[in-house]
Amino acid sequence: MTSQAAPQTLISGSLVIAGRAVAGAAADEVTDPATGTVIGIAPVSSDEQVDDAVQSAAQAFGPWAALPATKRSAHLTAIASWIRQHAADLATTLTLEQGKPRSEAVGEVDAAAKAFDYYAAEAVRVRGETIPTGSPTLRSVAIRQPMGVAAAIGTWNYPLGIMAWKIAPALAAGCTVVAKPAEQTPLTVLAVVAGAADAGLPPGVLNSVSGTGAEAGARLASHPLVRKISFTGGTATGRRLLHMAADDIKSVTLELGGHSPMIVLADAPMDLAVADAVKRSFRNAGQLCNSVNRVFVQRSVAEQFTERVTERAAKLTLGHGLADPEPNLGPLTTADGLARVEAHVADARARGAQIRTGGSRATDGELAGGLFYQPTVVVGDGELLMAREETFGPVVPVIVVEDADEAVARANSLDAGLVSYLYTRDLRSATLLSERLEFGTVNVNNVGGGDVPFPYAGWKHSGLGIELSRAGMEEYLRVKHIRTELGYQ
C-alpha cells in the first residue's frame, strides 16, 4: 500500500450567504478517518449567520420562483458542469474527509452532477391540471408552486450525493435553499455550494451553514422562514425534527435509518446472490442506509452461501481510500461508529454466534492510525443486536430460515422499511413476495442503490415522503386551486 500523507495545505471551507463567501464565526478541524490527521478546517456558523442565511434565501425566493423554468433549468445545468469540471478535487476531498475509496468518491461526485442534470430536465415539467366544473362559466385549475425556503440537512456517509438529491429538486421546483452538511464531512458540500455561486447562481438562492446538529441544524430547522425541511440521517434525529416542524406546520421529507434484509431462497441464482451480498454488506465500510444488515437464507443452501460469502469477505482489502492499489474498503468515518460495530460484534459473541471471518479492528501497519474494522460475517439468530439495530459498519449476520414465508415475516418484523433484497429464480413468487415486503424499495436479484430516476422512500420508521425521481421534486411544491367565475355582468 502506498502511504498517504496528509495534504500539504489544509483544505479550508467557507460559508456562502447571499452569494458571498463568508468565514464562520468559529472553526473546526476536519480529520481523515484513515489516519487521524487533520486535513481541513471547516467554518462553524453562529446563530446570526444561520439567521442571515435563511433571510437571504427568503429574499431570493420571490425572484427565483418567478424566473422562467427554462432559466432555472440552465442554472442547474451550469452547476452540474461546475461539479464535473472540479470532479477530481472534489473526489479527493471526499475521500479525505469521509474515507471511501477514491473510485467510489468519483462515483458519488458524478452522481451529484447527474442529479443536477436530471432536475434541470424536470424543472421545465412542473405541471398543473384543468379540472372540469359543473358550470359552463366556471373554470377550475390546480397549479403547483414552490414552498419557499428549504432547509437541506445531510449526513456524512454520502455527504455530496445526498445533498445534491435535496438541493437539485428544491432549486428546480423554485425553492431557495440553506444547506447544512454533517459536521464530520462538511468540506465537499461547502465546496459545491461555493461552486454554484461561481457558476452564476443568483445570490441567496443557495446558501450554506455549518456546525453541529444541536446548534446550526436545530437553529436552521426551527427558523420560521423555513417552510420545508429535507433531512437525511438517523431515525432519532428525524423524529426530533418532525416534532420541531409540527410547532410551525412545516413540510418535512425524511430519509432515515434502514435495516435491510436480503432474502436468499433455495432456487436463488447463487453466484449472483453471493457476489451481491458481499458488495452490499461491505461497500463504504457498511456505512450505507441500504447496506445488507441481515441475510435470511433458506436452510438447504445456507451453508454453501455462507461459506462463499465468508471466503470473499476474507479477501477484501482495507486501506486509505487514496492508496494505490486502491483498497476495497476504507475506514469507518467516526469513532462512535467504530465503537458501535465493536459493541454489536461483542453482543454476537456473548450470545454464542459464530464469527466466520473478521470480528475485530484492523490495526496492521498503517491501518493502526485509522478507524478500520475487518469485514465480518456472523452466523446467528434474529436476537443478535446486529440483526435488530443498524450496525452501520462492515458486518453482516446470516440467519437460517425454513421457507419464504418465514423470511418475509422476519424481514417485516422490524420498524425499518427502507430497502429489501430478494434472490430467487421464480419470478412469479418474487412478484408476490415483493408485494408483501414492507419496504419502500424491493430489489429482486440485484443490489442497485438509490439513483435519481427512481423513487426512494422510507416506509415505517425509515422515513416520510419521497426522494429522487419526479416525485422527489414534488416534495418541494404545493398545490393551489384557482376557481374563476366568468359569468358575471
Tell me the catalytic residues: 255, 289
Residue 214 interacts with ligand NAD (CB under 6 A)?
yes
Is 7 or 234 the residue whose CB approaches ligand NAD more closely?
Answer: 234
H or E element at residue 144: strand 138-146
Least distance in angstroms from the C-beta of 392 to ligand NAD: 6
Selected from 418, 433, 452, 473, the binder of ligand NAD by CB under 6 A is 418
Task: Taking the CA atoms of 255, 259, 261 and 262 in sequence, report the sign of the dihedral they define.
Answer: positive
Select the residue whose beta carbon is closest to ligand NAD and give its number: 213
Name the strands in the sheet holding 477-485, side by side, starting at the edge strand that comes first in the sequence.
129-130, 138-146, 477-485
Using CB under 6 A, which of the segments 50-58, 70-78, 232-240, 351-359 binds ligand NAD? 232-240
Using CB under 6 A, which of the segments 212-220, 293-301, 344-352, 354-362 binds ligand NAD? 212-220
CA–CA separation, 213 vs 333, rounded Å?
17
Is 256 or 433 the residue whose CB approaches ligand NAD more closely?
Answer: 256
Least distance in angstroms from the C-beta of 213 to ligand NAD: 2
Selected from 261, 330, 358, 458, the binder of ligand NAD by CB under 6 A is 458
CA distances from 159 to 95, 113, 166, 233, 283 (A): 11, 13, 11, 11, 15
H or E element at residue 150: strand 149-153
Q: Are 97 and 325 in contact (CB under 8 A)?
A: no
Is 65 or 242 the residue whose CB approaches ligand NAD more closely?
Answer: 242
Selected from 27, 74, 142, 218, the binder of ligand NAD by CB under 6 A is 218
CA–CA separation, 393 vs 381, rounded Å?
19
Selected from 178, 463, 466, 469, the binder of ligand NAD by CB under 6 A is 463
Least distance in angstroms from the C-beta of 404 to ligand NAD: 26
Least distance in angstroms from the C-beta of 153 to ligand NAD: 5
- Side chain identity, residue 309: V
Is 14 or 333 the residue whose CB approaches ligand NAD more closely?
Answer: 333
Residue with C-alpha cell 485509522?
370
Length reported for the chain: 489
What is Dmax (Cα atoms) for the chain?
88
Selected from 80, 221, 278, 411, the binder of ligand NAD by CB under 6 A is 221
Q: Would you tell me how many other CB atoms lie within 10 Å of the CB of residue 446?
A: 12
Residue 84 interacts with ligand NAD (CB under 6 A)?
no
Task: Taking the CA atoms of 347, 337, 262 and 274 in sequence, report the sign of the dihedral they define.
Answer: negative
x/- map, 127-156, ligand NAD, by CB under 6 A? --------------------------xxx-
The SS3 assignment for 148 reads coil
Between strands 441-444 and 419-423, the pairing is parallel
Residue 157 interacts with ligand NAD (CB under 6 A)?
yes
The SS3 assignment for 463 reads strand
Nearest by Cα to 373 from 387, 360, 390, 385 = 360
CA distances from 453 to 77, 81, 115, 275, 407 (A): 16, 19, 9, 25, 29
Least distance in angstroms from the C-beta of 325 to ligand NAD: 28
Tell me how many residues contact ligand NAD (CB under 6 A). 31
Radius of gyration for the alpha carbons in the chain, expressed in angstroms and rounded: 23
Using CB under 6 A, which of the segments 194-202, 211-219, 260-268, 349-357 binds ligand NAD? 211-219
Is 305 or 421 the residue whose CB approaches ligand NAD more closely?
Answer: 421
Selected from 202, 234, 369, 382, the binder of ligand NAD by CB under 6 A is 234
Residue 485: Cβ-neighbour burial (10 angstroms; 0-12, 13-18, 19+) = exposed
Selected from 32, 97, 122, 255, the binder of ligand NAD by CB under 6 A is 255
Residue 257 interacts with ligand NAD (CB under 6 A)?
yes
Is 285 or 297 the residue whose CB approaches ligand NAD more closely?
Answer: 285
x/- map, 310-349, ligand NAD, by CB under 6 A? ----------------------------------------
Site for ligand NAD in 374-393 (CB under 6 A): 390, 392
CA–CA separation, 373 vs 318, rounded Å?
8
Provide the CA 401 distance to its chain's centre, in angstroms.
Answer: 31
Interface residue list for ligand NAD (CB under 6 A): 153-155, 157, 162, 180, 182-183, 212-214, 217-218, 221, 232-234, 237, 240-241, 255-258, 289, 390, 392, 418, 458, 462-463
